[in-house]
Structure 1
Amino acid sequence: MRIVQLANAYSPTSGGLRTVVDALGRGYMAAGHERVLVIPGQRHSREEGESGLVVTLPSLPVSGGYRMIPRFSPVKDLLEELQPDSVEVSDKATLAAAGPWARERGVGAVLISHERLDAVAAARFPHAWAASHRALQPALHRRSRRLAMRFDAIVVASAFAGREFDGYGGLLREIPLGVDLDTFRPCRVPSPERSEVPRGTGEHPWQLVYSGRLSIEKNPIAAIAAVKALVADNLPVHLDIYGSGTQRQQLERFAADLPVTFHGHMSDRVELAERIAAADVVIAPGPAETFGLTVLESLACGTPVVTADTGGAGELLAAGAGLTAACTGEDMARAVAGILAWPEAERRAAARRRAEQFPWSATVASMLDVHVSLAARERNLSRLKRRGLRRRRIG
């Protein structure tokens, strides 16, 4: 089966979306299917490699350092050439036109919903949302349902994400994402300073981590505000921030004189995993996460997490593996302090145990079930149509 994946906002720094698309693509190929990836780039290119055929199409830069294919026509021409058995779309903008294209040609079409439109709007424009959400929220839900009707199946990663499509009568599948349990794993051997110097002291403060995009909808300022509150309570902590984004300068000003270090985007995932594993708590304050890959990766490292009490990330937590909190510095600080009071071995074991319930193999198997069933359905419909035409001609 040939599966074509279409994704906008796919870049070296696009974090979760790229991780998901790549992990699924590798899984499809490992299962014996052909995978083609179509993404935005500065120019047209084709490259065949271990991950299958990767096609970049000319695109426009948009906010956050991402790029978007502005028109569907070149994608349509490419799809006509590729003749896929199934199309997987990771975009709710220009590439969503692949749904109607596939339906007209008897090809299965799946939309993966990576973000919930109303939650993103509320996180990016909190003041405007507070003033107008009663009118905007129903309108955005109607838009989401109309979008969903263009596809044969919608895939969401959490119950929170699925509520965007309340009232949609088609095939809605909740398929949790996965984690690379080999890359993201607990520290094998504690460093000398970890084992010899008591933590929670001025010499060796508790190590906190924020990993993600530095943008308003991810709410990184709450992680820094939590540090400020913890320092005010005389709890020695240090926050390492891994990520880049439009808010970096503002956050650096806010963090002045606080024990916070900005490291920028870290492309080496092995090194990032090691640093997360060495931390005591990860703070993931994004209020609009439809899943929370950073949360799951942190749990896989044996590091408990404080996450927002809104969004879907809290669904990943289990007893002893972390806490949810309101998206304020004070509430996040209280949750961090609460986790640090738990026995370390127990909280690290609980975190890893929870992550082990989410291998990528399970996600890939569930996605392939969707693709294969849609492709089989379309083949059956095509045969029935041909039979109907023959009967009419005979008659």
Structure 2
Amino acid sequence: MRIVRVANFVNPRSGGLRTALSHLGAGYLAAGHEPVLVVPGPAESDEVTEQGRVITLPGPLMPGMGGYRVLLDRGRLSSALHALRPDRLEVSDRSTLRWLGRWAKRREVPSMMVSHESLDGLLRLFGPGVGRRAGDLLNARTAAEHDQVVCTTRWAASEFARLGVRNLTRVPLGVDLERFTPANQDPAMRTRWCAAGDVLLLHCGRLSPEKRPRRSLEALAALRRSGVPAVLVVAGGGPMRSALQSEAADRGLPVRFLGHLTDQVKLSSLLATVDVAMAPGPIETFGLAALEALASGTPVVVSSESALPEVIGDAGVAAPGEGPAFAEAVRTLLSRPEPVRRSAARAQAELYPWDRSVAGFLAAHRVPTAATFQPFSESMR
């Protein structure tokens, strides 16, 4: 089968969507299919990669979005898809690319919309109940225009499930269990960022308002006020970095801002070396960075408002509220013996190998999968 995937808002260097697309494409290829990915970029290109063929079409930068581009030229994209003659169409953007469901129906091509974000969650950032009726209408249209809607967690699927959507399937994403492992722990890296006896915390993710990175600073402040000698490492860039650096300096908080880490070896070592990672975003629909920390043997504190409690299980703690609640969750994790909390983190991550995710997506596409894959997908009807 030729499975053509179209995605917007793909960071050219990193990010959860980029990671998911790469692993799924490689898995489709290994299963004997022909994956083709179409994404926006500064110029047109066409190359063969480890995840299959990747076609880049020119797309403009979105103002204030930190370098994200979108495919806005419908005529050009339609022509490219017509030339590709897909057997299946997989779409990863239900805002600007929802029209592709109608394109596929007219050509009798089965289509799938992968919901990587929560419209409910995004609207909730503007206040309780804001735009819920409009969100329900858009979600109903999305489901009607595609043969399948795939969500990665029950939390993410709930906004479709309450509408009685019948073509809804849950397929969790995965984690690279060979790249992210407790064996990457680096004592020399630890001494670089903190003193002996300190608690080393990590905030790993984009520094943007919807990710709530200030909660990590507040947690650090609360821990230090209570006598815990904590130090925070922040790996990631974004529009809030300058303000957060100034705030940390003004408050005398020991925060090490590393910026965006392009070195995957350094990132995997950092994830395995810290004591606790924090994922404070309230609208995360899966949380690949948190799962990578668990695979590295590092427990995670997450927002109880998000989908992450569903993913981390007992290997972390869900914090209700702001920074002080996250500080209390960190103390709860630190009260567990280190070997216990680290082995629990790794065991939880091992429930999410990429091959099961690939098999689940292929099952949702209703195409054959390799015999060695163990499908995991769940109808939400």
TM-score of the pair, normalised by structure 2: 0.91
Find the counterpart in structure 1 of residue 66 from structure 2. Answer: 64
Pair 344,97 (structure 1): closer, same or farther in 2 beyond 3 Å: same
Of 333-342 and 167-176, deviating more is 167-176
**Shift in Å at residue 327 of structure 1?**
3.5
Q: Quick check: 1:184–1:270 contact (8 Å CA) kept in 2?
A: no
**Shift in Å at residue 167 of structure 1?**
1.5
Letter in 1 for 2:226: D
- Aligned equivalent of 1:187, options 183, 194, 210: 183
Find the counterpart in structure 2 of residue 91 from structure 1. Answer: 93
**Shift in Å at residue 170 of structure 1?**
3.1
Find the counterpart in structure 2 of residue 343 from structure 1. Answer: 337
- The answer to whether structure 1 residue 206 and structure 2 residue 199 are counterparts is yes
- The answer to whether structure 1 residue 352 and structure 2 residue 346 are counterparts is yes
**Shift in Å at residue 120 of structure 1?**
1.7
Q: Give 3-state SS (helix, strand or coil) of 1:4's partner.
A: strand
Q: Quick check: 1:238–1:259 contact (8 Å CA) kept in 2?
A: yes
Q: Quick check: 1:287–1:327 contact (8 Å CA) kept in 2?
A: no
- Aligned equivalent of 1:298, options 289, 293, 300: 293
1:122-153 CA deviation, whole Å, 9 max, x = no partner? 23x3xxx24xx2x5112212211112211000
Q: Quick check: 2:44–2:56 contact (8 Å CA) kept in 1?
A: yes
Q: Quick check: 2:215–2:322 contact (8 Å CA) kept in 1?
A: yes
- Aligned equivalent of 1:229, options 209, 222, 227: 222
Q: Give 3-state SS (helix, strand or coil) of 1:94's partner.
A: coil
Letter in 2 for 1:322: G
Letter in 2 for 1:180: D
Find the counterpart in structure 2 of residue 382 from structure 1. Answer: none
Q: Quick check: 2:299–2:342 contact (8 Å CA) kept in 1?
A: yes
- The answer to whether structure 1 residue 106 and structure 2 residue 102 are counterparts is no
1:32-89 CA deviation, whole Å, 9 max, x = no partner? 1111110000122212233322111111111122111113221111110000000110
- 1:246-265 equivalences under 5 Å are 246-256=239-249, 257-265=252-260
Pair 23,189 (structure 1): closer, same or farther in 2 beyond 3 Å: closer
**Shift in Å at residue 308 of structure 1?**
0.2
- The answer to whether structure 1 residue 311 and structure 2 residue 306 are counterparts is yes
- The answer to whether structure 1 residue 216 and structure 2 residue 209 are counterparts is yes
Structure with the bigger percentage of helix: 1
2:359 and 2:61 mapped to 1: Cα distance?
A: 34
- Aligned equivalent of 1:170, options 143, 153, 166: 166
**Shift in Å at residue 204 of structure 1?**
3.6
Letter in 1 for 2:179: T
- Aligned equivalent of 1:332, options 322, 326, 335: 326
Q: Structure 1, unaligned stretches of length 5 or more?
A: 375-395
Percent sequence identity over aligned pairs: 42
Pair 189,52 (structure 1): closer, same or farther in 2 beyond 3 Å: closer
1:196-219 CA deviation, whole Å, 9 max, x = no partner? x9xxx9644111001111111111
Pair 75,188 (structure 1): closer, same or farther in 2 beyond 3 Å: closer
2:202 and 2:219 mapped to 1: Cα distance?
A: 12
1:276 and 1:30 mapped to 2: Cα distance?
A: 28
Find the counterpart in structure 2 of residue 244 from structure 1. Answer: 237
Q: Give 3-state SS (helix, strand or coil) of 2:183's partner.
A: coil
Of 337-346 and 163-172, deviating more is 163-172
- 1:26-105 equivalences under 5 Å are 26-62=26-62, 63-105=65-107
**Shift in Å at residue 271 of structure 1?**
1.8
Q: Give 3-state SS (helix, strand or coil) of 1:36's partner.
A: strand
**Shift in Å at residue 259 of structure 1?**
0.7
2:269 and 2:189 mapped to 1: Cα distance?
A: 15
TM-score of the pair, normalised by structure 1: 0.88
Letter in 1 for 2:344: A
Aligned-residue CA RMSD (Å) = 1.8
Q: Quick check: 2:184–2:269 contact (8 Å CA) kept in 1?
A: no
1:306 and 1:371 mapped to 2: Cα distance?
A: 34
Of 183-192 and 72-81, deviating more is 183-192
Q: Quick check: 1:91–1:112 contact (8 Å CA) kept in 2?
A: yes
**Shift in Å at residue 190 of structure 1?**
6.0
Greater CA radius of gyration, 1 or 2? Answer: 1
Q: Quick check: 2:218–2:323 contact (8 Å CA) kept in 1?
A: yes
Of 90-99 and 283-292, deviating more is 90-99
Letter in 2 for 1:233: S
Q: Quick check: 1:241–1:260 contact (8 Å CA) kept in 2?
A: yes
Pair 168,40 (structure 1): closer, same or farther in 2 beyond 3 Å: farther
Q: Quick check: 1:149–1:170 contact (8 Å CA) kept in 2?
A: no
- Aligned equivalent of 2:272, options 258, 263, 277: 277
Find the counterpart in structure 2 of residue 390 from structure 1. Answer: none
Q: Quick check: 1:207–1:238 contact (8 Å CA) kept in 2?
A: yes
Q: Quick check: 1:14–1:66 contact (8 Å CA) kept in 2?
A: no
Q: Quick check: 1:304–1:347 contact (8 Å CA) kept in 2?
A: yes
1:183 and 1:296 mapped to 2: Cα distance?
A: 12
1:83 and 1:316 mapped to 2: Cα distance?
A: 36
Pair 52,191 (structure 1): closer, same or farther in 2 beyond 3 Å: same
Q: Quick check: 1:71–1:94 contact (8 Å CA) kept in 2?
A: no
Q: Give 3-state SS (helix, strand or coil) of 1:96's partner.
A: coil
